[in-house]
Chain A
Amino acid sequence: MNEFFSSLTGWASQPFMLRALLALVLLAPACAALGVHVVSFRMAFFSDAISHSVFTGIALGLLLSLDVRISTLLFGLALGIVLIQLGRHSSLSRDALIAVLLAIAMSLGIVIVSVRKGLVQQFQAALYGDILTLTSLDIALTAIVLVGTVVFEIVAFNRLLLISTSEALARTHGIRAKVWETSLTLWVAVVALVGLRLVGLLMVTSLMVVPAAAARNLARNASGALAWSVVIALVASVIGLAASWMLDSATGATVVLAAAVLFLATLPFGPRVRRS
């Protein structure tokens, strides 16, 4: 019994695990808060595309001798802007556009890597994240992302809420829908690109969407949705980190799995919705 208890709490005595916990506690609320809008604006697929753009971002960074953080961020933001512009001006559906750009962003990166074999290790780190080897810079960047997200939620929350209801209505309130939708898109891109260093690109979108979706089952109003999303993401982070220590599993995936279990647990509490 004592052995089980110590294995359950032993992770908390390891400095690298505490660092990982700190990083998750900073990242999870930012992802969860943005996730509320990602779900409202049906952007889950979009943030997936942005996180997958990291393939080309890394490859370009190494080819052009740039810091891969900067090249990844710049390429991700550029892809986000292209998506917004095409989404507004193309006759193709947004989903189809995202799928095309996702294919380009991924395949271009893979082609470059297949030519330059030495890049494979960088790609693996992007795929799965590397939360146990975080540097102080990583923690600082994640803290900046959290502060930025809080500021964003103060300034943008009401505006995005009105835009998601009716863009025309929002415009009569003096809200420039294009500006705020673009701001949301770009900030989601920034958070996704910083977050994938921690939990990997396969999981960063899930960390946005799953807590926000679970929150919809519990919340009865907009503030409840935000609060529940953040709480669920934090609880999933702590449980997931502890479980990954015990199971020796990939941390990012275990955190998202914990969030998914919480989502399933909230399903019975979801409101009945009139669909007619």
Chain B
Amino acid sequence: MSVTVHIDNLNVTLGGRRILEDVSLTLNGGELNALIGPNGAGKTTLIHSLLGFIPYQGQIKYEGLGRTPRIGYVPQKTTIEPGAPLTATDFLASGLSRRPVWSGVKSQARDAIVEVLADVGIPTLARNRLDSLSGGEFQRVLLAQALLRKPDLLILDEPNTGMDITGHQLFCALVEKIHREHGTTTLLITHDLGVVADHARRAIGLNSRVLFEGPVPEVLSEEHLIQLFGPHTHGMKATARVRRHNNAGAKP
């Protein structure tokens, strides 16, 4: 059973500034939901509210599990300090167990790590240091740590950071594949409308308030995009339209 998330009248004020105003939306269970909006729209604030990092007014309700959902989170900006002697196994094991990684990683944990790294397409990188990985490989390690939690809700905050366009597309294709295999409710924040058109089922446009919400083919319209981003979005709109057109029929 997948978790459905209902957000009702969410208001967040930080440093005296209203970031989110009466935000109400639904993340449909088992679907890949994309959250789009300009810089400063409150996308990360919305995620931080879901994660319980910041105080908010309003309600966040989870339906379909009968318990608090486990949330897997891929953060927006994570930079590994060059020279830090930290392998993918160290990093993943430290989130799996409280047993200090310097005392050794149990074989059960090691097996789980090997398996999840295979799932995200980097089966041979378990012993590689994180500072030696490319941006795309590192993002996959971050995705692996989120998946190790066996999440009911997977949240990805602009996972394109440090990746080129191709890398971002490949990463999002991987997210979609994992999403299809596990049926995990997924929330993807991205600026790339092409990615939304290619991989998401539903899209939510946010700019302090929810401007639109619904199935991608219905809501990713020129009118909505101009409303969300202003008139300077021709390139993005064109990309999105072409990809949506190409994908028509590929998505139910």
Contact = CB atoms under 8 A, between A and B. Distances in A.
A222 B102 contact: yes
B104 interface: yes
A219 B97 CA distance: 22
A154 interface: yes
Given A157-B101, A223-B102, A216 B85 contact: yes
A270 interface: yes
Nearest to B72: A172
B94 interface: yes
Nearest to B44: A168
B67 to A, nearest CB: 15
A158 B89 CA distance: 12
Contacts of B133: 274
Nearest to B95: A173
B17 interface: no
B95 A162 contact: yes
Assign chain A's interface to a size class.
Answer: 20 to 34
A169 B75 contact: yes
A166 B78 contact: yes
B171 interface: no
B10 to A, nearest CB: 19
A225 B86 CA distance: 9
Contact of B94 (A161, A224, A270): A161
A14 interface: no
Nearest to B132: A274
B75 A168 contact: yes
Interface string B106-143: 00000000000000000000010111111000000010
B81 interface: yes
Nearest to A274: B132
Given A154-B100, A169-B145, A220-B129, A273 B82 contact: yes
A226 B133 CA distance: 22
Given A221-B85, A221-B86, A157 B78 contact: no
A169 B78 contact: yes
B75 A166 contact: yes
Nearest to B52: A171
B143 to A, nearest CB: 12
Interface string A223-254: 11111000000000000000000000000000
B98 interface: yes
Contacts of A215: 85
29 contacts: A153-B102, A154-B100, A157-B94, A158-B100, A161-B90, A161-B91, A162-B91, A165-B78, A165-B91, A169-B73, A169-B78, A169-B95, A172-B73, A215-B85, A216-B83, A216-B84, A219-B85, A221-B89, A221-B129, A223-B90, A223-B104, A225-B85, A227-B102, A271-B132, A273-B82, A273-B131, A273-B132, A274-B134, A275-B82
Q: Which 5 A-B pairs have the closest CB atoms?
A: A158-B94, A223-B102, A157-B100, A219-B85, A222-B90
